Every structure is written in C-alpha cells, then in structure tokens.
C-alpha cells in the first residue's frame, strides 16, 4: 500500500483522509480503494503498508472490540482501540508490515488521533500522517496546521495536503476519501479525481516540444 494517509483533530472531533491507490509494483491494481476502515462505531483506522496485513489486523480488532463493547455496555474509548491495534502490531512485529493511524471520538477525551508505526509504537498526537506520500507533505503540514481549526478549515487542510502528496508520490493517487467523526456521528465524503484542484503542471510554462 503505497499511500498517503492523514488524520487530524479539530474543534469538535477528528477527520481522517486517504488517497485511493493500491499498486502492485507499478501497476495500479485498484484506483478507487477505500483505506479508511471502521473498527467500531466511533473509531476508524487508516491503513498503510501491506494491504493484507492491515486488513487482517483490522478484522481481528473489529472482532475483539465488538466483544469488549458488549461487555462495557458503553462507547469504547479511542485509547482502548489504539492499544488493541498496537498489541496486534507489536506481538506480530516479525511478520507484519503495517502502519496504521487510529482516530475517533469519545465523550471522555473528545477527538483523538493515535499513530501506530511499524514495530508497534503508539504515539498520541493532534495530527498524524503516514504512508509513502506523507514524506512530501511534512513541511506543508508543519507550516499550515493549527490547533482547534473549524471543521471546514480542517477539511480544506486535509484535501490540500493529500492533493500535494498525490501529485508527488507515484504510489498515491486516484480520489480523496474522508471520514469525519464527531459527537453527532460519522460522515463519509468522497472527492473525485477530476474535482481535486490542480497543482504542478497547471502553472503557465513554455510549450514543451522535443
């Protein structure tokens, strides 16, 4: 999964965003894949790395969290889900290649983002990016991210960041999918490739002739 994934907290919840390209080598196997997977009603995960490894982890976590939720009788906290994902990644670290970002909303901590990297490290941060495309937007995100943005600003920030990542990283592309999680619930959005504003290449330049 060469990928660009990003999640950030805003004033009232979290937004998760991802591109939609799955490539095997340089062939684009799926140009409209969905890398945002629900783990429970209020917690979603963004998947990067090996597609099969991340799908397997998500499957196990969905199962165990459903059991845990039944026992709790209440909304599961984002931290619990993140820890469970970490256990999967850490205990199988020799066999896995999975970088996941777990993000969600619970009434105790509000919107939270946890990044789980290759070996099983969990880091709680206000925003997180992962995948091969994230390297190209480190500078951009450091400059333009602000704490407690409005939902609209956060959405614009994510689409802009992903758009740059998709332009520069060959293994990211397609369309932008986002999921917004707030106290009110979950909202999925989809931005077609043709609706993504252009970046490099649209600037006026000299006619290219051999």
By CB under 8 A, name the binding residues for another protein.
2, 19, 21, 23, 25-28, 31, 132, 136, 166-174, 193, 198-202, 205, 207-210
Q: How far is the CB of 77 from another protein (least distance, A)?
A: 36
Q: Is 54 a catalytic residue?
A: no
| Dist CA 45 CA 201 (whole Å) | 33
| Dist CA 169 CA 132 (whole Å) | 7
Sheet holding 176-182, edge to edge: 127-130, 5-10, 13-18, 176-182, 185-191
Nearer residue to another protein within complex by CB, 73 or 197: 197
Query: Which is the catalytic residue, given 3, 9, 54, 180?
Result: 3
Q: How far is the CB of 84 from another protein (least distance, A)?
A: 31
Q: How far is the CB of 26 from another protein (least distance, A)?
A: 5
- How is residue 36 written in tokens? 């945002």
Nearer residue to another protein within complex by CB, 99 or 173: 173
Q: Are 192 and 159 in contact (CB under 8 A)?
A: no
- How is residue 124 written in tokens? 């709680």
Nearer residue to another protein within complex by CB, 61 or 191: 191
DSSP state of 75: P
State the catalytic residues: 3
């Amino acid at each position: 999964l060469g990928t660009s994934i990003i999640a950030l907290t805003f004033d009232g919840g979290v937004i998760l965003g991802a591109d939609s390209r799955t490539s095997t080598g340089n062939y684009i196997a799926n140009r409209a894949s969905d890398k945002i997977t629900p783990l429970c009603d209020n917690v979603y995960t963004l998947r990067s790395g090996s597609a099969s490894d991340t799908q397997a982890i998500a499957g196990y976590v969905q199962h165990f969290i459903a059991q845990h939720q039944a026992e709790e009788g209440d909304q599961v906290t984002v931290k619990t889900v993140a820890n469970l994902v970490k256990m999967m990644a850490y205990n199988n670290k020799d066999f896995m290649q999975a970088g996941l970002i777990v993000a969600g909303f619970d009434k105790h901590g509000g919107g939270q983002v946890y990044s789980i990297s290759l070996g099983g490290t969990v880091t709680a941060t206000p925003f997180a990016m992962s995948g091969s495309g994230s390297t190209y937007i480190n500078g951009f995100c450091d400059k333009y991210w602000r704490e407690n943005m409005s939902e609209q600003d956060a959405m614009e920030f994510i689409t802009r960041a992903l758009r740059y990542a998709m332009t520069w990283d060959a293994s990211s592309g397609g369309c932008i999918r986002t999921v917004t999680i707030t106290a009110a619930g979950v909202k999925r959005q989809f931005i077609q490739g043709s609706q993504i504003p252009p970046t490099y290449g649209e600037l006026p330049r000299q006619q290219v002739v051999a």
